[in-house]
Amino acid sequence: MVLASVAMDLHEAALLVIAGLGAGIVNAVAGGGSLITFPALIAAGLAPVPANVTNSIAVSPGYVASVLGSRADLPRGRVRALVPTAAVGSIAGCALLLATPARAFELVVPFLVLGATAVLAFQDRLRRLVGHPRDLSPRRQALALQAMVALGSLYGGYFGAALGVMFVAVLALVLDEPLVRVTAVKNVLSAVTGVTTVVVFALFGPVDWVAVAVLAPAAMLGGYAGARLARRLPSAVLKGSSWRSAQRLAWCC
């Protein structure tokens, strides 16, 4: 196990608590909460890869809390079929991050975020290429859904920021469901990815456990509150929130 530690004063701790609350809410509603926590960890003195690893672990409780807040909207049978794919994809993403040089991570991150943003921005055009969900055969829809979840979880294992945005974008391409149900599925898949990264990075990653101890409870509280809020928002507002989160994260990177 590789451990990292930074000295943290009260101002840095307060910054991480606020960032965790905000990220939990944003992740549950739209995704992109790591726009808040990742820079906060960098500001607390962590290098990019340890900040990414620590962030992935710290925001995971928020994903789990989001599932509890949105469980009434879950299509449970469909979700059960997607969980194994999300776990395997996440493990592959974690392994890729730990096996590649830190410089490669720093170079590729902006392109990953831009890719997630592009999928969301050009969703209607992409749908015309793959076909509208209601026009797909059950078999083709199931295969496309598994492929999209594998792609999203691979991304999430490698780089947790904008994970929710990525899942919403790819799921909406192949699911003919109200966005509130897509968001509920996104919350479960994000939680699976989050739990997987916790296990892998706790064993092998450069985790700053002090930062995790500060961020995680705040992210959990924010995630539950955000999921309850998301159930009350119109679909247009949810989609607009996802798009704005993607734009901000792409601009930040």
User: Buried b / exposed e across 130-169, counting CB within 10 Å, b at 16+?
Assistant: eeebeebeeeebeebbbebbbbbbbbbbbbbbbbbbbbbb
For 161-208, the pLDDT digits (tens) are 778 777 887 887 788 788 778 888 888 999 999 999 999 999 998 999
Mean pLDDT of 15-35: 79
**pTM listed for this prediction:** 0.76
- The size of the chain, in residues, is 253
Output the pLDDT for position 181: 84
